[in-house]
Amino acid sequence: MKGSMPSPVRSSIIAAFVLFPVLLFASVDKNFHDAPDSVKDTKNPYEGQTAAVVAGRQLYARNCLSCHGKSAQGSGNVPSLIDGKLESATPGEVFWFVTKGDKDNGMPSWAQLPVSQRWQVVTYVKSLGLPQTSNRVASALPADTSGSTIKAPPPQPPFTDFRYEQPGTVRKITVNDLPKPYATRSAENGPDLVARPENAWPKAPAGFKVGLYATGLDNPRTLRTAPNGDIFLTESESGVIRVFRGLTPDGKPELSAVFATGLKRPYGLAFYPPGPNPEWLYVGSTAQLLRFAYHNGDLKAVGPPQHITDLPNTGGHWTRAVTFSQDGKKLFIAVGSASNVDDPDTHPDEKNRADILVCDPNNCQPKVYAYGIRNAGGGIAINPDTGELWCSVNERDALGDNLVPDYITHVQEGGFYGWPWWYMGSHQDPRHAGKHPELKDKTIVPDVLLQPHNASLEFTFYSGSQFPGEYKGDIFSSQHGSWNRTVRAGYEVIRVPLHQSGHASGEYEDFLTGFVLPDGNVWGRPVGITEAPDGSLLVSDDGSNSIWRVSYTAK
């Protein structure tokens, strides 16, 4: 959502709101649902404001779409909002009904929802009766605004590609949307990286500003904020860990230093023990887990790294994300598969791969915590509100443009997520037909299904106060971008709303886009993401070798 809307209602209310009623607006009476005459002339403070329509649309997409449909057409006993019956009701009557509800017909009262958000919902649903607005705002697939010269036909929603990625667009993919394997050919469409044109710049929702934080880097990957506010960065190919400190008035770091060099593909970073006074910086590299002695404010490692444990290293996915449980008793390490879909039963290289491992930080003997996760090496993190482990996963390729969705999910201990035999629940990979039927019903469906081949990498849980209150606790995740799609997808940062409840309901939102040029060439690829001390977001980009800073500037 855009603008400086008040914080959403607390988690219990949001949890109820996500369920939404089976009825919103029934047939219009002389007075809409017996609304009192006194509310008829109540004025909508957002009347005619496009920003309010867009904000209302986001509220609708998150909470109402599952009952009223993508185009508000209704179904069964759920009434349509676009059949003309709503037009004769005044905004005041609609606001009154949303506030009062009708429990007999399954419509609870939303009096607890902030007044401004109730009016934004009213503004949006009333706009559905206006053709010039409904075509622009309510469409399940917005117009291509990229100016693309690519002539491929539009994707079929809920799937999309870069031409239709727009900040603020909400998307939701379910297992019922999945096509059959090989519904389209398997494409090879790796990014053609080009220098960022002078007029190319990431696009963010209204009210946000995007600035360059740092440039001239060498393969910038993981970003991590130290307890004292310093920003750590891995430059994986050159084996360097950098640190940035402070913020100038124009949004640049006040100081930059090299913390360590000579590492072999460092990626994951985590400070230990959790809390304000760490003693170690743990580093996940391709073949081993290391740690440096560290105290708040260190700009350079005071000694060589200590070897903690070896990690599986038989080719394939090389990133090793690391994080600690909130109590510091568990160290989680994500190790991706060595292949796309090799059967671990017959391929020894896959032993202890496609897993999230766990060990005691001080005596690390890794064992499997969750498995069948093709590659979570790009990002794992602990939800600070619930203590749950979450991961960001690159799923398998070569089954077509729209299989298999990447995903973001909380991780169940002992949980099986399908790779390589199954995916998204009871869908069997045809390349392993008939294998491991006993795992069919054990395969967990992830919380949030993303566009297939998005290459979902690092993510962070937003805990700051700079962004509007409705962003509190939400996930922001970097999508590195596809190669196995006919038309590119990903190359963006997304937002996963957790509704102030710590739990996802399946949808996500385009947040930072614009890294692909109209001709399909790519100038930027988001990788790392972290929250700076002032509440802005920092995003590393290994396409332009930069770090971007996203701040909220609206009043």
Residue 129, domain CATH: 1.10.760.10
Asked whether residue 194 is domain-assigned, the answer is no
Do 316 and 396 lie in one domain? The reply is yes
Do 18 and 119 lie in one domain? The reply is yes
Do 130 and 246 lie in one domain? The reply is no
Do 422 and 538 lie in one domain? The reply is yes
Distances from the Cα of 313 to the Cα of 26, 40, 235, angstroms: 61, 69, 19
Asked whether residue 154 is domain-assigned, the answer is no
Do 221 and 131 lie in one domain? The reply is no
Do 441 and 312 lie in one domain? The reply is yes
Boundary of a domain, candidates 137, 165, 194: 137
Query: What is the DSSP track for 272-330?
Result: ESSSSS--EEEEEESSEEEEEE--TT-SS-SSPPEEEEE---SSS---EEEEE-TTS--
Asked whether residue 170 is domain-assigned, the answer is no
Q: CA 445, 448, 454, 455 torsion: positive or negative?
A: negative
Do 286 and 370 lie in one domain? The reply is yes
Boundary of a domain, candidates 104, 137, 170: 137
Q: Give the predicted TM-score (pTM) of the model.
A: 0.78
Do 319 and 462 lie in one domain? The reply is yes
Asked whether residue 27 is domain-assigned, the answer is yes
Predicted local distance difference test score (pLDDT) of residue 502: 95
Please give the radius of gyration of the chain, using alpha carbons only, rounded to the nearest integer.
24
Do 87 and 217 lie in one domain? The reply is no
Q: CA 34, 40, 44, 45 torsion: positive or negative?
A: negative
Do 227 and 351 lie in one domain? The reply is yes
List b or e across 442-456, with b for residues whose CB sees 16 or more CB atoms inside 10 angstroms: bbbbbbbbbbbbbbb
Predicted local distance difference test score (pLDDT) of residue 174: 97
The string of pLDDT tens digits covering residues 180-212 is 999 999 999 999 899 999 999 999 999 999 999
| Cis ω for the linkage preceding 22 (within 30 of 0) | no
Boundary of a domain, candidates 137, 154, 172: 137
Asked whether residue 186 is domain-assigned, the answer is no
Range of the domain at 108: 11-137
Asked whether residue 108 is domain-assigned, the answer is yes
Asked whether residue 499 is domain-assigned, the answer is yes
Q: What is the CATH number of the domain that holds 268?
A: 2.120.10.30
Do 221 and 123 lie in one domain? The reply is no
Do 414 and 512 lie in one domain? The reply is yes
Name which of 541, 516, 513, 545 is nearest 526 in CA terms: 541
Under 8 Å between Cβ of 512 and 201: no
Question: Of all residues in the chain, what percent are helix, strand and coil, respectively (each to 5)?
Answer: 15, 30, 55
- The list of the chain residues with pLDDT below 50 reads 1-29, 75-77, 130-139
Question: Helix 11-19 vs helix 50-63: angle between axes, to the nearest 10 degrees?
Answer: 80
Total number of domains constituting the chain: 2
Asked whether residue 4 is domain-assigned, the answer is no
Between CA 157 and CA 202, with CA 381 as vertex, the angle to 5 degrees is 50
